[in-house]
């Protein structure tokens, strides 16, 4: 492998471009089938159950522990400036604006994204996608679209669970264990969190992340080489690509949302 050979470089660039083109075409086909797919809501409902339910435990536990850590670290920093009663506000804003959507998306990519990629990749390897096409059933509409809807719908709900568990975690450490005043903990949250600017933007973020992670997972699965190795490497790529996309998008969204 020598990247400086012009021919190899050109081949690499062409492969990347072909990959982007494949992704864009699949995205177009997916968009065209999204509304028809909603007519069979039972399929979407099953996927919401599958993706949401099985991710719930990891999301809730992670949220709780992130809240614990935030309660501790936040308290140590805030008490230096004698403002430890703002702990509730600090924990809540960090979670609702940033950590809730971002960490949920990363965990979702690892838990649900990989299972989507593996499931679709194995269907492809087992010729189940081909057999569906031969039955005149469009696999994009029958397989991909319900899963896409489920990801987009599930992600904000999971992010909300994550943030709520995180706030509870912060309360457990800050109020119950360290002894921050419970009244100021909660009233600071009530007074300082704006429904639209903070919570609303966090929800928008999690919808965008749900869109991104789910599409990456579906694309990797649908485009996987139909072999065991191909499915394995597609699953890995789902985590890498989805995580990087989430972190990059988060920076862009934050810059757009929270600049005065």
Q: Which residues bind another protein (CB under 8 A)?
A: 122-123, 126-128, 130-131, 133-138, 142
CB 104 within 8 A of CB 95: no
CA dist., res. 17 & res. 32, Å (int): 23
Q: Cβ of residue 144: shortest distance to another protein, in angstroms?
A: 15
Q: Cβ of residue 147: shortest distance to another protein, in angstroms?
A: 13
Contacts 24+ apart (CB under 8 A), 181-184: 181/85, 184/85, 184/88
C-beta closer to another protein: residue 22 or 65 = 22
Q: Which residue has the tokens 């009663």?
A: 85
C-beta closer to another protein: residue 101 or 139 = 139
Q: Cβ of residue 119: shortest distance to another protein, in angstroms?
A: 8
Q: Cβ of residue 128: shortest distance to another protein, in angstroms?
A: 5
C-beta closer to another protein: residue 69 or 142 = 142
CA dist., res. 198 & res. 50, Å (int): 29
Provide the b/e sequence for 103-125 (b: ≥16 CB within 10 Å). bbbbbbbbbbbbbbbbbbbebbb
C-beta closer to another protein: residue 126 or 183 = 126
Q: Cβ of residue 57: shortest distance to another protein, in angstroms?
A: 22
CA dist., res. 107 & res. 9, Å (int): 34
C-beta closer to another protein: residue 111 or 142 = 142
């Amino acid at each position: 492998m020598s990247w400086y050979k012009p021919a190899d470089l050109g081949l690499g660039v062409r492969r990347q471009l072909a990959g982007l083109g494949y992704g864009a075409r699949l995205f177009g086909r997916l968009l065209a089938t999204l509304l028809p797919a909603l007519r069979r809501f039972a399929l979407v409902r099953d996927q919401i159950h599958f993706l949401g339910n099985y991710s719930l435990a990891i999301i809730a536990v992670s949220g709780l522990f992130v809240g614990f850590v935030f309660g501790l670290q936040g308290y140590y920093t805030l008490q230096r400036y004698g403002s430890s009663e703002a702990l509730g506000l600090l924990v809540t804003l960090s979670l609702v604006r940033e950590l809730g959507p971002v960490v949920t998306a990363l965990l979702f990519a690892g838990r649900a994204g990989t299972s989507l990629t593996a499931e679709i990749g194995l269907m492809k390897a087992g010729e189940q996608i081909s057999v569906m096409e031969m039955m005149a059933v469009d696999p994009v509409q029958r397989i991909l679209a319900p899963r896409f809807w489920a990801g987009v719908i599930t992600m904000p709900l999971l992010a909300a669970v994550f943030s709520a568990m995180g706030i509870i975690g912060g309360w457990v450490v800050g109020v119950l264990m360290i002894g921050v005043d419970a009244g100021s903990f909660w009233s600071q949250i009530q007074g300082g969190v704006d429904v639209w600017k903070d919570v609303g933007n966090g929800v928008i973020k999690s919808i965008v992340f749900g869109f991104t992670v789910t599409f990456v997972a579906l694309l990797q699965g649908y485009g996987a080489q139909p072999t065991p190795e191909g499915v394995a490497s597609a699953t890995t790529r789902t985590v890498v690509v989805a995580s990087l996309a989430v972190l990059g998008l988060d920076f862009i969204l934050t810059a757009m949302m929270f600049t005065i």
